[in-house]
A and B are shown apart, each in its own frame.
Chain A
Amino acid sequence: MEASKVIHAIYTDDDILMSAVKKVKAEKHHIEEVYTPFPVHGLDRAMGLAPTRIAITAFLYGLVGLTVAITMMNFIMIEDWPQNIGGKPSFSYIENMPAFVPIMFELTVFFAAHLMVITFYLRSRMWPFKKSENPDPRTTDDHFLMEIAVHGNEEALVGLLKDTGAVEVNLVDKAH
Chain B
Amino acid sequence: MYTFSNKLRTFSFILIILGALGVGYGFMTSHKSFEEVEHLLAEESHHEGGHAEVAHDEASHGAHATVNSHGEEAHAEVDAHAKHVEHVQHQIANRPWSALYVAAFFFMMIALGVLAFYAIQIASQAGWSPVLFRVMEGITAYLLPGALIVLAIAVASGTIGHYNLFVWMDPDVVAHDKLIQGKSGWLNLTGFIIRGLIFIGGWVLYRHFSRKFSIAQDTAEDKSNFKKSFRISAAFLVFFIYTESMMSWDWIMSVDPHWFSTLFGWYVFASMFVSGITVIALISIYLKSRGYLEFVNENHLHDVAKFMFAMSIFWTYLWFSQFMLIWYSNIPEEVTYFIARFNDYKLPFLGMVVLNFVFPILMLMNADYKRIPWFVVMTGLVILFGHYVDIFNMIMPATVGDRWFIGIPEISAILLFAGLFIFVVFTALTKAPLLVKGYPLRKESEDFHY
Contact = CB atoms under 8 A, between A and B. Distances in A.
B330 A98 contact: no
Interface residues of A, number: 6
Nearest to A41: B449
A101 interface: yes
A87 B330 contact: yes
A54 B226 CA distance: 42
A98 B323 contact: yes
A29 B171 CA distance: 87
Contacts of B324: 98-99, 101
Range of interface residues on B (Cβ < 8 Å): under 10
Contacts of A99: 324, 328
B328 A101 contact: no
B327 interface: yes
A101 B330 contact: no
A98 B328 contact: yes
B365 A59 contact: yes
B320 interface: yes
Interface in A62-108: 87, 98-99, 101
Interface string B312-354: 0000000010011001101000000000000000000000000
A158 to B, nearest CB: 35
B293 to A, nearest CB: 26
A75 to B, nearest CB: 22
Contacts of B365: 59
A98 B328 CA distance: 8
A98 B327 CA distance: 8
Interface in A27-63: 55, 59
Nearest to B323: A98
Contacts of A55: 367
A123 to B, nearest CB: 20
A101 B316 CA distance: 12
A48 B320 CA distance: 44
Contacts of A59: 365
Contacts of A98: 320, 323-324, 327-328
Nearest to B366: A55
Contacts of B323: 98
Interface string B365-382: 101000000000000000
Nearest to A59: B365
A59 B328 CA distance: 30
6 contacts: A59-B365, A87-B330, A98-B320, A98-B328, A99-B324, A101-B320
When A and B form their complex, which 6 residue pairs have the shortest distance between CB atoms, in order from nearest? A98-B324, A98-B327, A99-B328, A101-B320, A101-B324, A98-B328
Interface of A: 55, 59, 87, 98-99, 101
Given A98-B328, A101-B320, 10 more contacts: A55-B367, A59-B365, A87-B330, A98-B320, A98-B323, A98-B324, A98-B327, A99-B324, A99-B328, A101-B324
